Chains A and B, each alone.
Chain A
Amino acid sequence: MRLLYFAWLKTKIGKTEETLDPPAGITTPAALVDWLKTRGPAFADALKDRRTLRVAVNRHHVGWDFALKPGDEVALFPPVTGG
């Protein structure tokens, strides 16, 4: 699974992207975020409040209960501020 981080999430986590295989049972972005939070204090802090985050899978906005598949591109970011 390819993971991308943007804006302050990228700054807090300290990287823009990574490729990893989450454990079996991680089938939604909600579960993915909960698992990512266990990977260290930077992740725990950046991801502590899901209400401050949005998620896209394969470049589409999705909800936290979206069904993830192996090989998906999952992006986590704060609400967008373009325009």
Chain B
Amino acid sequence: MIRVQREDFDVGFEIENLTRGKTTIGGIVTFVGTVRDGGGADAIKSMTLEHYPGMTEDELTAIEAEANKRWKLDASLIVHRHGKLLPGERIVLVVTAASHRAAAFAANEFLVDWLKTKAPFWKQEETPQGARWVEAQDSDDLAAKRWAKG
């Protein structure tokens, strides 16, 4: 299941809602990405996430399908926010549930790595010096490439 929304999400509610009644589940892994301000004099005041409506949903659906192909998951969920967010606010939620923890951990990391390099979101930070677009990190590309199939 995937969702793209402006509103915040309740982590406990989402986990409960996703896994209720699924008694084959033995482990649930949750990743929550939040807005960091970076600290110091350059600390950001807010962050605005722009996205490509339509393509975002398609990409997240495809990424989730790929994870479910690679690992035996009993449930999975991606919730990604857009719009203006303040430091400390939640940006993204990725939940993976499986019979055994290894699949849940691996699939969760895979989903986060892939969505960071494939889902069409762009972050703009509002700083004391003005607004700036966040640049893609080589480390994110490398993290995503770890999952390439030989």
- Of chain A, the residue at the smallest CB distance from B111 is A83
- Of chain B, the residue at the smallest CB distance from A7 is B122
Establish whether residues B122 and A78, one from each chain, have CB atoms under 8 Å apart when the complex forms: yes
What residues on B are CB-neighbors of A8 within 8 Å?
Answer: 133
- Of chain A, the residue at the smallest CB distance from B81 is A82
CA distance A56 to B20 in the complex (A): 38
What residues on B are CB-neighbors of A83 within 8 Å?
Answer: 33, 80, 91-92, 112, 115-116, 119, 121, 140
* B115, B118, B122: the one within 8 Å of A77 (CB): B122
What residues on A are CB-neighbors of B135 within 8 Å?
Answer: 78-79, 81
CA distance A59 to B43 in the complex (A): 34
- Of chain B, the residue at the smallest CB distance from A56 is B55
Beyond A7-B122, A7-B124, A56-B55, whether A82 also contacts B136 by CB under 8 A is no
Establish whether residues A81 and B52, one from each chain, have CB atoms under 8 Å apart when the complex forms: no
What residues on A are CB-neighbors of B118 within 8 Å?
Answer: 61, 80
Q: How far is the CB of B115 from chain A (nearest CB, A)?
A: 5
Chain B 113-139 interface 0/1 with A at a Cβ cutoff of 8 Å (1 = within): 001111111111000000001111000
* B120, B123, B124, B136: the one within 8 Å of A56 (CB): B120
* A59, A60, A79: the one within 8 Å of B136 (CB): A79
What residues on A are CB-neighbors of B54 within 8 Å?
Answer: 59
Chain A 1-19 interface 0/1 with B at a Cβ cutoff of 8 Å (1 = within): 0001011100100000000
Establish whether residues A82 and B52, one from each chain, have CB atoms under 8 Å apart when the complex forms: no
Q: How far is the CB of B119 from chain A (nearest CB, A)?
A: 5
Can you list the 7 inter-chain pairs with the closest CB atoms, starting with the nearest? A82-B121, A79-B136, A83-B116, A7-B122, A59-B55, A81-B134, A8-B133
